[in-house]
Structure 1
Amino acid sequence: MQDLFDMQVKIINFTNKLLELCQKGTTVQQLLDVGYENLGNPLLLVDVSLCFMAHAGGNTIKNEPLWEWTLSKGYVTEEYVNSVMKNDIDQDWEKEHNPNSNLILWESGLLNHSQLVGRVLRNKQPLAYLKVLEYNKPITEFDEQMLITLCRFLSLKIGDSSENFSSTNPLVDSFIAALLNQKLYDHDAISERAKLFNLKLYDNLYVITIELNDINKNQDILYHLKRKLQNYFNRDTIIIYDEHIVILFDVKGENIFNENELALFNQLLKKHNCRAGISKVFHELYDLSEYYKQTITSLSIGSQLNSSERILNYNNFIVTHMILSFGDKTRLEILIHPIAKTLIHMDEGKNSDFFETLCAYLKHNQDVTLTAKALHIHYNTLKYRIRRIIKLTNIDFKDSELLFQIQLSEKVLKLIRQ
């Protein structure tokens, strides 16, 4: 009972000390120093992207390579990030100890010692992580309570100061959110706020919406990936909206990405197991909401088609979107042209490939050499099939409207089969 009483007094004194520091105008480093003095174990504070912010007592650590790496390099290794961002947090432990706790007890084979991680939250959104390494002495239940208290004071300090390295301009975030949910729709007001917030953009605008899969979708990972994308694209116009990461991306030229940039972006998405929908180009902030809807449509259609693509560009789904919208009102089969039906019926009866050949021929702009190469057949074999198709259907390859309807039929058939 005496030990319990002594520890409670220690926690009260610790809280009062933190409160006095905040009243005098403290720094994050001073709060950590007091934490180290009372907890007796090294402390390491990183932002939501797991980039170094401050530490206390970490200089004495000699046998924890990952801690030493962070202190010397200023950021956490990718392997360490993946360990922290896992979803298999011990929720039962958390509920048993304190259902309202912002603590996570995390133990990993990457470290030689146990580590207690406190989540620094503001309005239920993570600002940073405070790590206590069980290095000098065992971590006790009272240490857990003190860590929670320290996290709460850090939340106040980080949230109200320029030391919040993890966040961008909250006014810009709110501005973009207001454009997305159409609470701000007056052209003049939009222009005035863009100038007020010093939002200087190139003429060509795109929306990129990042969707995480359901397994990896939690607030910590969202904020971590948001920060990473801010660094990757060198843009502050990135917000978390409706469980997605939405990027207002401006470019000077006509194309959003070149081939190399597209490949690197695809690698980033694959690494974090997520997908991106990309809108058509637009030029006015007023239109942001409509083009955001294009990205959501792209992601939705990609899911419906079971697409394995990581980057889903709305330009490639315009016709598909029109077909699906039409399908809400009537049967899609009526869009299939009679020539397509004739060839498909012939293929099914004689095990031929006339419809596939015709589609490939149109796709390659009626170039016999390219089509034969794409179908892996001989040049003369293709010429024979084309003659047979003309004889069977009387198709006119100069009729652009007819050719469009046949290509449309191919897309409709793919949608029906899928």
Structure 2
Amino acid sequence: MNKEVVRERPDLEEQRKLGYMLDDNLESLRREGVYEKTRELRYPYYSVDPNTGFGWITALVYVNGVEAAQIGVMELHREFTRYEYELIHFLCKLVSLELQKDDFYKQNQSLMHSVFLSDLLEERVRDARTAKIRSRQLNWQLSDTMQLLTIFDKNYGVFDRKAQLIGEQVQKLLAGSRWVIYESAVVFLLPLPLRLLERPRPEDAIAEYLAANRLYAALSEPFGDVLALKKYYLQCRSAFELGARLHPRRQLYGYADYALYHIGALVSKSGRLADFCHPAAPALAEYDKQHASELFPTLEAYLEHVDDPTLVAARLNIHKNTLFYRINKIKELFGLELRSGSERARILLSMAFMKLE
């Protein structure tokens, strides 16, 4: 930036470093109706900033008729001539052409919201203050507990062409959500966990949409730090990849259901998963194979809901007394001490590891 401009308007240099407009400058533009007048003209518009006395040309860049960017040029030492207006108008067309070459701008038509989400996913927003200001300028209300829902399609080439429509349709099912097309997926930031959105059983509506359109989706764990968006996006991607492998008939995968498998996938990069397994887990599987029994799934269900035997029995479709009989038999056969939390955790983790082998 020109040194003289920096001296005259240090706030512009601050904006350049931060990567977004300061609230005072944005509010001044809105108060003077600069953007509305520029949109009406569809041509560079001249105005004088009442706070500083500097003249400005403001121009808008359109991509396929959608407002994608703004250009501002400050008057310094001499007045603008008609040549500057034409030059800036031509610059807008050039910028529009360049943006249309970029897949991100082709795919995302709600650009200002999508750019902010993309910046969060790429970790380009580095502090909470910046995130708060940018969200406020977009009229977002970031909540204390959010969640990511990411929609995938195994047929990526076709998906890229219909992703925009998917985003628009699913947003109607997810009140207050924002979305972006990112890495051949549609990523939704939900203002509340899916189960709490203002809609009767939103999980059912999403599941129905996924089934009707042969799509897949993954849910992150709930979170409160929007700067950690990439972490929770990677949770979605891991849940989708593991879920598609382990439960291909499902279409909605929650990361909480695949966290143990994710640990296994990471551990497998440094050694054989079998080397980390509790010896009782493979022994149980072998016993079931030889005796046509169901001790392995019984113990797995029991460990997942150890404080709710009624739920476990219902899920296994057996009587509660049968459940207790099987658990006691497992303890006797394999010498297990299931009162130990660490032993229960290791066995359950081992069972997840075995499914990845």
Same fold (TM over 0.5): yes
Output the CA distance in 2 between the equivalents of 1:215 and 1:168: 19
Structure 2 equivalent of residue 262 of structure 1: 203
Find the partner of 2:262 among 318, 321, 336: 321
Q: Which amino acid aligns with 2:127?
A: D
SS of aligned partner of 1:217:
helix
Can you give the 5+ residue segments of structure 2 that lack an aligned partner in the other structure?
A: 1-39, 43-61, 67-95, 101-106
**Alignment of structure 1 residues 116-155 onto 2, 5 Å:** none
Quick one: structure 1 residues 168 and 334, their matched pair in 2 at CA, closer, same or farther if it must change by over 3 Å? same
Q: Which amino acid aligns with 1:282?
A: F
Output the CA distance in 1 between the equivalents of 2:320 and 2:177: 54
Find the partner of 1:185 among 121, 126, 137: 126
Output the CA distance in 2 between the equivalents of 1:409 and 1:290: 25
Quick one: structure 1 residues 399 and 173, their matched pair in 2 at CA, closer, same or farther if it must change by over 3 Å? same
Q: CA deviation at 1:327?
A: 0.8
Quick one: structure 1 residues 240 and 366, their matched pair in 2 at CA, closer, same or farther if it must change by over 3 Å? closer
Output the CA distance in 2 between the equivalents of 1:224 and 1:204: 27
Quick one: structure 1 residues 365 and 212, their matched pair in 2 at CA, closer, same or farther if it must change by over 3 Å? same
Q: CA deviation at 1:209?
A: 1.1
**Alignment of structure 1 residues 2-401 onto 2, 5 Å:** 169-214=110-155, 217-235=158-176, 237-251=178-192, 255=196, 260-365=201-306, 371-377=312-318, 382-401=323-342
Quick one: structure 1 residues 310 and 265, their matched pair in 2 at CA, closer, same or farther if it must change by over 3 Å? same
CA contact (8 A) 1:204 1:254 kept: no
CA contact (8 A) 1:126 1:223 kept: no
CA offsets 1:74-104 (integer angstroms, 9 cap, x no match): xxxxxxxxxxxxxxxxxxxxxxxxxxxxxxx
Structure 1 vs Structure 2: percent identity of aligned residues?
A: 24
SS of aligned partner of 1:397:
coil
Moved more, 382-391 or 329-338: 382-391
Output the CA distance in 2 between the equivalents of 1:367 and 1:167: 46
State the TM-score, normalizing by the size of structure 2: 0.62
CA contact (8 A) 1:203 1:252 kept: no
Output the CA distance in 2 between the equivalents of 1:238 and 1:309: 23
Q: CA deviation at 1:339?
A: 2.2
CA offsets 1:349-378 (integer angstroms, 9 cap, x no match): 444443343334434427666555544556
Structure 2 equivalent of residue 143 of structure 1: none
CA contact (8 A) 1:126 1:219 kept: no
Output the CA distance in 1 between the equivalents of 2:319 and 2:293: 15
Q: Which amino acid aligns with 2:330?
A: I
CA contact (8 A) 1:280 1:315 kept: yes
Moved more, 328-337 or 215-224: 215-224
Find the partner of 1:411 among 343, 352, 355: 352
Q: CA deviation at 1:379?
A: 5.8
Q: CA deviation at 1:325?
A: 0.4
Q: Which amino acid aligns with 1:313?
A: G
- The alignment yields a C-alpha RMSD, in angstroms, of 3.5
CA contact (8 A) 2:177 2:190 kept: no
State the TM-score, normalizing by the size of structure 1: 0.54
CA contact (8 A) 2:244 2:250 kept: no
Quick one: structure 1 residues 126 and 247, their matched pair in 2 at CA, closer, same or farther if it must change by over 3 Å? farther
CA contact (8 A) 1:206 1:256 kept: no
CA contact (8 A) 1:177 1:241 kept: yes
Output the CA distance in 2 between the equivalents of 1:323 and 1:235: 35
Q: Which amino acid aligns with 1:395?
A: L
SS of aligned partner of 1:209:
strand
The higher radius of gyration belongs to 1
Q: CA deviation at 1:322?
A: 0.7
Output the CA distance in 2 between the equivalents of 1:309 and 1:277: 11
Moved more, 351-360 or 331-340: 351-360
Output the CA distance in 2 between the equivalents of 1:207 and 1:255: 13
Quick one: structure 1 residues 341 and 231, their matched pair in 2 at CA, closer, same or farther if it must change by over 3 Å? closer
